[in-house]
Structure 1
Amino acid sequence: MPGKIKNAVQTAVIPYQPRYPQTLIHPQLETHRFCVLVTHRQMGKTVCAVNHLLKSALINTRPAPRYFYVAPLLKQAKMIAWDYFKRYSAPIPGVKINEAELCITLPTGAKIWVAGADNPDALRGTYADGVALDEYAQIKPGVFDEIIRPMLLSRGGWTLFTGTPKGQNAFYDLFTYAQKAARQQPDLWWCGVYPADTTGVIAPDELERIRQATPANVFRQEYLCDFAASCDNVLIPVDVVSAAFQRHYGAAEVAGAPRVMGVDPARFGDDRSVIFCRQGLQAYAPRVFKKLDNMALATRVAVEMQHFRPDAVFIDAGCGGGVIDRVRQLGFCVTEVPFGSAPVKAGQYANKRAEMWGEMAAWLKAGGALPPGGELRADLCAPVYDFDVAGRLRLEPKEKIKERTGRSPDLGDALALTFAFPVRRGAFAAEFARYEYGVL
């Protein structure tokens, strides 16, 4: 990370000590050409961008490197970033500051400009080795494609897009694209999301005061990085999931509740097979597998059943036929669940999948506890819903979610399967009353 930089011209020390999660972010910025960074307010994304630009400019050995920091407005760029550039570049011997042009010239010959997207035509006709687009949610659509991207062509330059969600606008579109691109081209694209309840930058008691004093949708958007905060058709809001991540129940607290296992076999090559276990209000860390065939997954399920001793096991019948048959051959009792089958609460839900997700949402709101995990958060918050002509809740199809977000909500579906049918505590209750899953 920025610190001591040495090249043929100068040895320089940038007075910057990154904190968590900046320590995780900078290695990604240095190894990917296109980065999308979504953060909560006051996380330090602008400081990240400033120091990434400074380090990149100092170590660039090409002739006359050029870098740009761009905010939505020139006045805004000067207010939030210019002082940072001057502060962090001040100890570099030979640095030149041009206040009129908002330009820093480093002893290497590299230049960094601070600019506003309110006058993007001023950037036309030049080249760039790297560009940081800050508060991208407020930058005019088309600035990157029409102005910035052509600037990068001759030098193979990089771009950092940073911001906090502001509804489902161009930044949201870029975010969803970046999620897909990061899976398809992991060496080129990176996408990071850092909500306030995971970074520790804002003290928990202060964050709670902010939550209480802030409208729920604003808090979800500004501090929990929820692009859907302004939408009213998200089945499970991010603040509900965040609250569930903060809860945990010990073995004694859930001892009388049934143990349930949900298994979602992979549908396609890049999907994941997931085994999720839950006892009452406590869900445990899922087992996630990639590129596992049905026979191998069936063995994993059998081993997990011996370990967890569930009272019921529900397996998605859509792609799990081979898994179900093999597990039964091994002498275990499992229940196949067609996602499109009739729900128990036929007047409330359109099909079984909608019912499972609806019951899971109610469980979360009633005090359900989740194991930590960014992918689980994304999966649970992904589906939107509507109502059919009979007024029954209908969930967005899994294929549509994958098309929209670039990933299938496999972890969410596996946990939802634990709500497929009512389950009674079985014969293992007495023997395993003091057993906490994963801890003997």
Structure 2
Amino acid sequence: MRLELSEPHINQQVILDSSSRFRVVMCGRRFGKSELSQVEMISNALKGYQVAYITPTYKLAKTFFEKLTQVIPFENNKSDLIINFPNKGSVEFFTGERLDNLRGRKFHLVVIDEASFIPNLEDGWLNSIRPTLTDYKGKALFLSTPKGKNYFYSLFMKGGEDWESFKFTTYDNPYIDKSEIDDARRQLPEAVFEQEYMANPMENAANPFGSNKINECIKPLSNLQPSYYGIDLAKSFDWTVIVGLDINGAVCYFNRFQKDWKQTKETILTIDRSKPVMIDS
């Protein structure tokens, strides 16, 4: 049984050649994750293996299913998103929004695409995905552009026996015009470019100004007394911040903390209540 697949570029081939059981690929946009996934899944299904492909949303899973059916001329089930191979191999598509659907299943290979963006990836991996690999001693391939230092980043840093991590930037795709990437570097905030193109996890990639601009605004606290206060109350596990401004509008008081609601109220009551206070809740 033969199928004509796209030829992997040199850096994709490095990942495909790895024999590690658990591979984690952190890469920039347009590195070629989709093509890499396609080659890996089809190659395994052609061996008669059961393969699962997981993506953050149902819409993405359906899109990739439709692309794969254009390459594979075999029986497929559009409602259940399954492609069946004549040799009993299969590729089945799942959404990261409903990982409980994996319970009771078993696979030789699971591909987790855009893993950084899957809700509750840690719980999903430990309780739903990992058990599906037990029967066959199956493999897992995680692929994603980073999204801060979340659980995908923890997997990337995991190391140890059976684990191997790979990091590639958009520049590492030989089919992408380097001048186009350079142009994006000039136009985008530094944090955004570093994360989306250079695959460097950034805590503040959503910041449109860049961390360097924020750092330029940080100055020593004024020695004058506060004339008024601003308070930004935390939601969930966020931070509460209290800022005091002097008569000239300069910051003279700053307190940032994570406490329970009782302790937060007690801290707020310690400020000078004779001064005006603006609270953002």
* TM-score where L is the length of structure 2: 0.69
Matches of 2:62 and 2:3, distance apart in 1: 24
Matches of 2:30 and 2:103, distance apart in 1: 32
What residue number does 2:47 align with? 59
Q: Larger helix proportion, structure 1 or 2?
A: 1
SS of residue paired to 1:13: coil
1:67-124 per-position Cα deviation (integer Å, ceiling 9, x unaligned): 1000011112212x2133213313xxxx201111111000101121111010111111
Matches of 1:84 and 1:191, distance apart in 2: 27
What residue number does 2:4 align with? 14
What residue number does 2:61 align with? 77
Shift of 1:229: 5.6
The reply on whether 1:42 has 2:21 as its aligned counterpart is no
SS of residue paired to 2:59: helix
Aligned residue among 89, 100, 105 for 2:72: 89
SS of residue paired to 1:155: coil
What residue number does 1:102 align with? 81
Matches of 1:42 and 1:83, distance apart in 2: 20
Report the count of equivalent residues.
Answer: 204
Does the Cα contact within 8 Å between 1:69 and 1:113 map onto a contact in 2?
yes
Does the Cα contact within 8 Å between 2:31 and 2:172 map onto a contact in 1?
no
Does the Cα contact within 8 Å between 2:30 and 2:173 map onto a contact in 1?
no
What residue number does 2:17 align with? 27
SS of residue paired to 1:210: helix
Matches of 1:128 and 1:100, distance apart in 2: 20
Does the Cα contact within 8 Å between 1:16 and 1:88 map onto a contact in 2?
no
What residue number does 1:151 align with? 132
Taking only the aligned residue pairs, the percentage that are identical comes to 26
Shift of 1:57: 1.3
Question: Structure 2 counterpart of 1:230, which letter?
Answer: N
The reply on whether 1:135 has 2:119 as its aligned counterpart is no
Structural mapping, 1:173-192, within 5 Å = 173-177=154-158, 180-181=159-160, 185=161, 188-192=162-166
Aligned residue among 189, 201, 214 for 1:215: 189
Does the Cα contact within 8 Å between 1:14 and 1:89 map onto a contact in 2?
no
What residue number does 1:163 align with? 144
1:131-188 per-position Cα deviation (integer Å, ceiling 9, x unaligned): 00000101123111100111110111100000001101111111111xx32xxx2xx2
SS of residue paired to 2:5: coil
Matches of 1:36 and 1:57, distance apart in 2: 21
Does the Cα contact within 8 Å between 2:104 and 2:132 map onto a contact in 1?
yes
Matches of 1:98 and 1:117, distance apart in 2: 20
Matches of 1:228 and 1:119, distance apart in 2: 27
5+ residue gaps in structure 2? 206-210, 212-281
Does the Cα contact within 8 Å between 2:149 and 2:203 map onto a contact in 1?
no
Aligned residue among 23, 48, 52 for 1:68: 52
Q: CA RMSD of the aligned region, Å?
A: 1.7
What residue number does 2:91 align with? 112
1:12-33 per-position Cα deviation (integer Å, ceiling 9, x unaligned): 12332112322222111xx121
1:173-216 per-position Cα deviation (integer Å, ceiling 9, x unaligned): 11111xx32xxx2xx22211001234434212111111122111
Question: Structure 1 counterpart of 2:129, which letter?
Answer: I
Matches of 1:219 and 1:201, distance apart in 2: 19
Matches of 2:174 and 2:3, distance apart in 1: 27
Question: Structure 2 counterpart of 1:100, which letter?
Answer: S
Larger RCO: 1 or 2 (CA < 8 Å, sep 6+): 2
Matches of 1:20 and 1:88, distance apart in 2: 22
Matches of 1:83 and 1:14, distance apart in 2: 17
Shift of 1:126: 1.1
What residue number does 2:170 align with? 196
SS of residue paired to 2:166: strand
Question: Structure 1 counterpart of 2:53, which letter?
Answer: Y
Matches of 1:119 and 1:78, distance apart in 2: 14
Question: Structure 2 counterpart of 1:153, which letter?
Answer: T
Query: CA separation of 1:22/1:84 partners in 2, compared to 1, >3 Å: closer, same or farther?
Result: farther
Does the Cα contact within 8 Å between 1:86 and 1:97 map onto a contact in 2?
yes
Does the Cα contact within 8 Å between 2:53 and 2:92 map onto a contact in 1?
yes
Shift of 1:46: 1.8
Matches of 2:176 and 2:190, distance apart in 1: 18
Does the Cα contact within 8 Å between 1:221 and 1:229 map onto a contact in 2?
no
SS of residue paired to 2:26: strand
* TM-score where L is the length of structure 1: 0.45
What residue number does 2:239 align with? none
Does the Cα contact within 8 Å between 2:156 and 2:165 map onto a contact in 1?
yes
Structural mapping, 1:406-421, within 5 Å = none
Shift of 1:45: 0.9
1:311-369 per-position Cα deviation (integer Å, ceiling 9, x unaligned): xxxxxxxxxxxxxxxxxxxxxxxxxxxxxxxxxxxxxxxxxxxxxxxxxxxxxxxxxxx
Does the Cα contact within 8 Å between 1:50 and 1:84 map onto a contact in 2?
no
Matches of 1:107 and 1:223, distance apart in 2: 39
Matches of 2:60 and 2:47, distance apart in 1: 28
